[in-house]
Amino acid sequence: SPLDKSSSILIVGGGTWGCSTALHLARRGYTKVTVLEAYPIPSPISAGNDVNKIVEQGAFSEGEDEAAVALALLHAANQAWTGDPVFRPYYHETGLIMAASSSQAIDEIEQREIRHLDPSSYERLQSAEDFRKTMPEGVLTGSFPGWKGYYKSTGAGWVHARKALVAAYTEAKRLGVTFITGSPDGAVESLLYSEGGDDVLGAKTADGKEHYADRTLLAAGASSPQFLDFENQLRATAWTLGHIAMTEDESRLYKNLPVLFNIESGFFMEPDEDKHELKICDEHPGYCNWLQQPGDKFPQSVPMAKHSIPMASEKRIRAFLSDIMPQLADRPLCFARLCWCVDTPNRAFLITYHPRYPSLVVATGDSGHGFMHIPTIGGFIADCLEKKLEPRFAHSWRWRPETATQFWGDDKLNRFGAGNKVLDLKETETEGWAEIGSSG
C-alpha cells in the first residue's frame, strides 16, 4: 500500500543514518516512526560515535555518473552543515590539507578532489616548510619526508560526530519519534517475514517482541548483513583509531587547526574540547574479519567490537606522528577502537527498496564516507521510502548484485596505506593488540 503520514515505519539501527532518517521523517510529518537500537544512543558500536569526522569535497565512487551523484550529495551536505540549526553548532570550517607521498596517491587526490575545485580555492604544498606553516609554531615540527599536498582553507573541516549524532536523535525524539534502545528491548534478532516469505513485515527483538510496520528500514551499518542476504554486495571493513591525552596548554595551542590527512599514512584533527584528547587514525584499505560459513559461496567479513587496535596499527600511528609531530610520537594511547563500516564494490551507497520484499528498504553501504552526510542522508532515504528519489541517485544506489558476482574482499577500493592491501584481523593473532591506558 502507498505510504501516507500515518503509515508505520520501523527503523532497524539508530546509528548515523538511522537517526538522520528518523529526523527527516519526523520533519515531513510522519507520526508513527519507531527506531530499534541495540544500545543507548550514541551506540558504542556506531561508526558515528567518535569525537570528529572530516567534512570534505571528494567524489569517492568510481565512474562519472557515480561521481556526479557524489558531488551533488556533498553539495547538499555542505549546505546543511552551515544552514541547519540542528547540525550547525558541530561544524568547524577549519580547512583541510590532503597529502600523499607516492605519485600514484597524489594522482588519486587530484582525481577525487582537486579537479572538482576552483584553482583559486587551494594552495599547493611542496616542502616540509610549506606543511609546517599551515599550523601555529610548535604543532607541526616533523620533517614531512616526501610529502606533497593541497591545502584548502575554506569549505571543508571537521564535525563533532558524537554530538551531531546525539543532536539528530534528540530532535527526532522531540518531534515524536519512538526510540526503543538497549538490549534486549531494542536489540533486533531478525526480520519478520510474511507467511509466504515474500515480504518483510517488521523485526523481532531479543525480548521476544514482534514489531510490525508498513515499512521496515534496515540501517544497521556494518551489522546489516547479519539480517539479510545482501548477495555479496557488502563487506564489513574496520578502521583503527587511537587517542592520546593532551595537556590544557597543548589543547589551547592546537585549537582551530585544519584537518591534516595523508591518504597513505593517517589523519588527525584538533583535540576534543571536553577531554583534551587528540584522535589519530592510521590510514589503510581497512581490516576485515573473515569467516567462512558452510553454505556461503564466499567468506564473509564479520564485525567484531573491540576497544583496542592491532599492535601494527599502533606502530603506524607512531610512525605517522614521527613524520609530522615527533614530540607526541611516544605518548601512550589512552583510548583506541576498531570502528566498523561497510563497503560496496564501487563505494557508492546502497539505498533502495529490496527487489523481492516490497515493504523493505535498505540504507547501508556507507563505504567509509557516510558520516558527513548525517544532516541530509535521511532526506534522501525518506525520498526512497516515498519512491521519489531522483533517478540518477536511485540508479547509483540501486540493488546491484551483478557488480558482486566474484569475491572482491581483497579489493582495496582505491585506498592506500599499510602496504596498500586489505588487512586481515587474523594477523593480530601473531602481533597482538595495543595496550591502552585508562582514558582521562
What DSSP element (H or E) covers 417? none
Task: Write the CA distances from 415 to 88, 100, 149, 195, integer angstroms.
Answer: 30, 12, 17, 44
Size of the site for ligand FAD (CB under 6 A): 37
Q: Which of 101, 216, 223, 262 binds ligand FAD (CB under 6 A)?
A: 223
* CB nearer ligand FAD, residue 203 or residue 404: 203
Structural contact between residues 227 and 354, judged by C-beta atoms closer than 8 angstroms: no
Q: Is there a contact between 103 and 110 (Cβ–Cβ < 8 Å)?
A: no
> Least distance (Å) from ligand FAD to the CB of residue 108?
16
Q: Cα–Cα distance between 348 and 61 in angstroms, integer?
A: 5
User: Residue 180 Cβ, how far from ligand FAD at the closest point, in Å?
Assistant: 9
**Main-chain dihedrals φ then ψ at residue 412, nearest 5 degrees:** -80, -5
CA separation, residue 300 to residues 31, 115, 362 (Å): 38, 36, 19
How distant, in Å, are the alpha carbons of 51, 222, 324 from that of 265?
20, 24, 11
Q: What is the CA radius of gyration of the chain?
A: 21
One residue of 9, 10, 25, 36 binding ligand FAD per CB under 6 A? 36
User: Binding segment for ligand FAD among 352-360, 365-373, 379-387, 403-411 (CB under 6 A)?
Assistant: 365-373
Phi and psi at residue 40, to the nearest 5°: -60, 145
CA distance 200 to 10: 11
- 100 lies in the binding site for ligand FAD (CB under 6 A): no
Among 58, 368, 375, 417, binds ligand FAD (CB under 6 A): 368
Contact 238, 245 (CB under 8 A): no
Which residues in 265-324 contact ligand FAD (CB under 6 A)? Answer: 281
Identity of the residue, 94 or 128, whose beta carbon is nearer to ligand FAD in the bound complex: 94
Q: In a 3-state reduction of DSSP, which class is residue 274?
A: coil
Shortest Cβ 358–ligand FAD spacing (Å): 23
Q: Is 336 in the site for ligand FAD (CB under 6 A)?
A: no
Pick between residue 132 and residue 264 the one whose CB is nearest to ligand FAD: 264
CA geometry: angle at 148 spanning 51 and 114, to 5°?
75
Q: Which is nearer to ligand FAD, 214 or 282 (CB)?
A: 282
Residue 274: what are its φ and ψ, rounded to 5°?
-90, -45
Q: Under rule CB under 6 A, which residues in 141-170 are in contact with ligand FAD?
A: none
Q: What's the closest the beta carbon of residue 21 comes to ligand FAD, in angstroms? A: 9
Single residue of 78, 134, 300, 364 touching ligand FAD by CB under 6 A: 364
- If binding is defined by CB under 6 A, does position 415 make contact with ligand FAD? no
20 vs 232, beta carbon nearer ligand FAD:
20
The residues pairing with 416 across neighbouring beta strands, listed in sequence order, are none
Q: How far apart are CA 29 and CA 37, in angstroms?
A: 22
Q: Which is nearer to ligand FAD, 259 or 324 (CB)?
A: 259
Within 10 Å of residue 264's Cβ, how many Cβ atoms? 22
Minimum distance from residue 138 beta carbon to ligand FAD (Å)? 25
Applying the rule CB under 6 A, the residues between 175 and 194 that interact with ligand FAD are 186-188
Of residues 14, 258, 345, 375, which one binds ligand FAD by CB under 6 A?
14
| Rounded Cα gap, residues 331 and 40, in angstroms | 32
User: Minimal distance in Å, beta carbon 387 to ligand FAD?
Assistant: 22
Residues 228-247 that bind ligand FAD (CB under 6 A): 239, 241
89 Cβ contact partners less than 8 Å away, ≥ 6 residues apart: 163, 167
Query: Does residue 219 belong to the site contacting ligand FAD (CB under 6 A)?
Result: yes
Find the shortest distance in angstroms from Cβ 142 to ligand FAD. 22
Interface contacts to ligand FAD, rule CB under 6 A: 12-18, 36-39, 43, 45-48, 53-54, 186-188, 219-221, 223, 239, 241, 281, 339, 341, 364, 366, 368-372
